Structure 1
Amino acid sequence: MSVNKYDDYLIKEKLPVFWCAGCGNGIVLGSILRSFAQLGLKKENTVVVTGIGCWGKADDYISTNTFHGTHGRALGFATGIKLANPKLNVIVLMGDGDGATIGGNHLIHAARRNVDVTAILVNNLNYGMTGGQYSGTTPHASYTTTSPYGHVENGFDVCKLVKAAGAPYVARGNVYGVIQLQKLIKEAIEKKGFSFVEVISTCTTHYGRLNGMKTSAGAMKWIKDNSISIERAEKLPKEEKEGKFVMGKFVDKDIEDYTARYDRVISKAKEII
């Protein structure tokens, strides 16, 4: 029996990738494709849904079925695809614009409904493709092209948002900790119901440059220095956790998914008819 490899899911003819030097998107893409290989996903039964933005270009390099939608609507399209054919593996790739800013309402309700899709949100803390403007996840006091004197708003903690909405699997990784990231993505795909993985990533062209990270290595070090595990976070006082990204798995529980519940409704309707 042949064993799948990550590059079985990669369109090699499209290489090199579109992303800037030092961008973390290639690391995330590799983690996803290695997870596909470990799980032995069949291409014909797998759909990758993307939206607009730097990370929205990921579908250019993936050889499964793909669907490229509009900005902020990736989860809406993914929900429709899954409900039309529940046998499909549906993985949604979103940036912080697609998933938390423009598409925040879709994120809340996909989690609340517990539709069986896997959402991977790559958070580079700004709108990288369109010039480095601030997004809904940009940290307070950081610099972007639209907040040159420091951002006045607090950024969303999207993991807390998705957890509060009722998702059965919620986790956060980063592009520095690749082994942990791949493990979380694999678990999320295996999970029945709505699963969500946020990935803290680098944007060396805009966010990194404007916030003192002059090199790709410097951006990686910044992520490493500002990330802490859940276990460590639980022991630290609040002021020491300020501005840190907590890494790990926040929720992992079994909840009956949307399709299973809806099947019962269909059965009841047929009994009446």
Structure 2
Amino acid sequence: MKILVTGYTGQLGFDVVKEGLDRGLDMIGVGSRDLDVKDEKAVNDYVNEIKPNAIIHCAAYTAVDKAEDDKENCWKVNVDGTSYLAKAAKKINAKFMYISTDYVFDGKGDIPFTEANTPNPIGYYGLTKYEGEKIVESLLTDWFIVRISWVFGINGNNFVKTMLRLAETRNELNIVGDQFGSPTYTHDLSKLLLNMIQTSKYGIYHVSNEGFCSWAEFAKEIFQQSGKRIKVNTINTEEYPTRAVRPKNSRMSQQKLIENGFSPLPKWQDAVKRYLRELKEVKE
């Protein structure tokens, strides 16, 4: 199976390509320097030339705060780029997997969102990702939309790396404790995505590591497992203002995943443990 992966220079795209190569699949990973998804002709020509059996679209404009002021560029990448890739996939009858986000929801309440819940994004980034979802659904028949949250992987920046870096110079940190969700390790996620793309169980899925926590609880677990004595002060969202509004409830139900015969990812605490080990191995 030949699989084209966009966003190869990011956390998820990198691990998807790595996992696919380990499985002996024909993987082609492209970053923005290899293929500008905002260029319709370039996308069409490239996809038509390599003719993949499937496209896993990980590339996205993900600078959540910056997106509020850089709306044009964010739209071009997340909406136009997705449209161009979906149209190119349709021409060659390739399966299409669009990686979306918990930010398509408004974060109200404390019940996990299901795939049947209607998105209602409260920030511009989330809006563009939802618009991308609608394009995929309207243009294609063989599609997967996979909503993920709180991603961390070996290639790129993330919350775990930030916490470890801050721990080098600080002994006390203020971390938001009233936003809840599920951390997602790209190493685990990439395995499931590749299992999924090789089936015909199309539709929308929520995927993250098992269990829920707040950002403060996530930080405490990182410090505890890495043996760092850092005091974590739990604060409210209002005490840490950001340009973009974050959903307070990013919990997502993974029942559909289980109903369709896919194994849920390991618990997030276990994922953190294995990720810290991976980081250590890379340093050595």
Query: What is the TM-score with the length of structure 1 in the denominator?
Result: 0.38
Higher normalized contact order (CA 8 Å, seq sep 6+, divided by chain length): 2
